[in-house]
């Protein structure tokens, strides 16, 4: 992780994006949580591709690279602008879903291009149950839109 000494966390994210790129900025956001993974997934037809990803324990697996949209929590973030579950296998909204029990916790936010079309999603996720504080969600709502300027 890069050593950042900026007074405002949003400024740190902005600085990392501008000077070091997307993955260091994802690492910074991941460090603010207990989630194992932080990523940006790009929507391509009916598939989500991991465009950029950070794995806290540096064992990023190929099974995380491409996910059918219909089997991904990203479908809900795309549909509603944001989606969160802290314990998917116990979440009544997800009991009949084929992915319940694999990814246990997820926070996702829709990323949109300047013309309003969906790019994909910013996500935190884990194989273990995790929660995200409301203050962190508010912070992510502020900083995540900055990423779109750095995505091709």
| Residue 94 confidence (pLDDT) | 85
- Is residue 47 one of the residues assigned to a domain? yes
In a domain, 109, yes or no: yes
For the chain, what is the domain count?
1
pLDDT for 101 beyond 70:
no
Q: Does some domain include residue 56?
A: yes
Residues 31-68 as b or e (16 or more Cβ within 10 Å = b): ebbebbbbbbbbbeeeebebbbbbbbeeeeeeeeeebe
Q: Could you list the residue range(s) of the whole structural domain that residue 110 is in?
A: 9-150
- The answer to the question of residue 144 being in a domain is yes
How does residue 2 score in pLDDT terms, banded at 50, 70 and 90? very low
Domain presence at residue 2: no
Q: Does the pLDDT at position 27 exceed 70? A: yes
Residue whose tokens read 């994210």: 13
What is the predicted pLDDT for the residue at 117? 95
For the chain, give the longest Cα–Cα distance: 46
């Amino acid at each position: 992780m890069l050593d950042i000494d900026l007074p405002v966390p949003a400024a740190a994210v902005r600085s990392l994006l501008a000077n070091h790129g997307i993955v260091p900025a994802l690492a910074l956001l991941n460090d603010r949580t207990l989630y194992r993974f932080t990523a940006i997934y790009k929507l391509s037809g009916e598939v989500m591709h991991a465009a950029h990803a950070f794995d806290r324990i540096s064992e990023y697996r190929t099974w995380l690279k491409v996910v059918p949209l219909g089997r991904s929590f990203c479908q809900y973030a795309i549909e509603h602008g944001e989606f969160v579950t802290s314990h998917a296998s116990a979440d009544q909204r997800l009991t009949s879903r084929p992915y319940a029990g694999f990814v246990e916790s997820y926070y996702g936010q829709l990323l949109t291009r300047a013309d309003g079309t969906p790019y994909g999603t910013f996500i935190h996720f884990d194989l273990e149950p995790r929660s995200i504080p409301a203050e962190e969600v508010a912070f992510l709502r502020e900083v995540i839109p900055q990423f779109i300027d750095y995505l091709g």
